[in-house]
Amino acid sequence: MTSQLKTIVLLGILSAFVIMLGGLLGGRGGMFLALGLALVMNLGSFWYSDKLVLSMYHARETAYEDAPYLHDIVATLARRAGLPMPRVYIVPEETPNAFATGRDPDHAAVAVTEGILRILTPEQLSGVLAHEMAHIRNRDILIQTIAAVMGSAIVTLANIFQFTAIFGGNREEGGNPVGALIMALLAPIAASLIQMAISRSREYLADETGAALCGNPEYLAGALEELGRMSGQIPLQSGNPSTSQMFIVQPAFAVGGNLNRLFSTHPPLTERIARLRAMRHG
């Protein structure tokens, strides 16, 4: 399935949750209102999802003179991948992690936390950034970013619908407050499962492509070991668990991470590392 088709399917499924919630809560009127919200969310996700995610993590764009070491690594990897130079961002977080975003390679950005710049060797950092460049080359970034924004919106709307359903909803318009409450409880779980199914298969491919780009699978394998050890100890202070699939390793969140821990959007780190080291020996 192509990235474009996956994006359309994802948007359709996530939008269906919003429309069903509206119909259960407010009948026909609620359904039309939810349909309007879904259209706005879809258009906004396509054009502005990268900006929303970057602002969610207070990421700041850096010029070459601000971080020449980081820009040089990204530029080298972009040339090897045959990609335009993406924008480079730094996230003011101590937890070591990284992600890529944007709607296509011409509008891409890579973001790294301050923490990752402190703990990784240059070779390990090149492995991490090669993984993110692989997501850009494999055109994963649009679907990952849309999934993050739509998932976050569904969680927010579900919380609103739960509150409204508890207080009765709109029975006169054919609403079903009990059904809406059940759906509001299930929608965030379903959104997480959709994100998980999409993300896991793409992580293995990005690892494989990234290992080739950086020139040595051990660079990325060693980085994943270090990130796995540190990321769980230092939670992210900002952001939303619905964006977990965007990061190179599953992040921990200071607030609201219970559902995120239950449904991991990433394959097991031990398996990813083993695959990378098998590539080296192979």
Residues acting as catalytic residues: 132
Rounded CA-CA distance 44/188 in Å is 20
Task: Specify the DSSP element, H or E, that contains 112.
Answer: strand 109-113
Q: What are the distances in angstroms from CA 228 to CA 40, 116, 198, 231? A: 37, 12, 21, 6
Q: What are the distances in angstroms from CA 168 to CA 58, 156, 176, 187? A: 38, 19, 9, 19
Residue 199's φ and ψ, nearest 5 degrees, are -70, -45
C-alpha dihedral sign at 64, 69, 71, 72: positive
User: In what side-by-side order are the strands of the sheet with 60-61?
Assistant: 60-61, 87-91, 109-113, 98-101
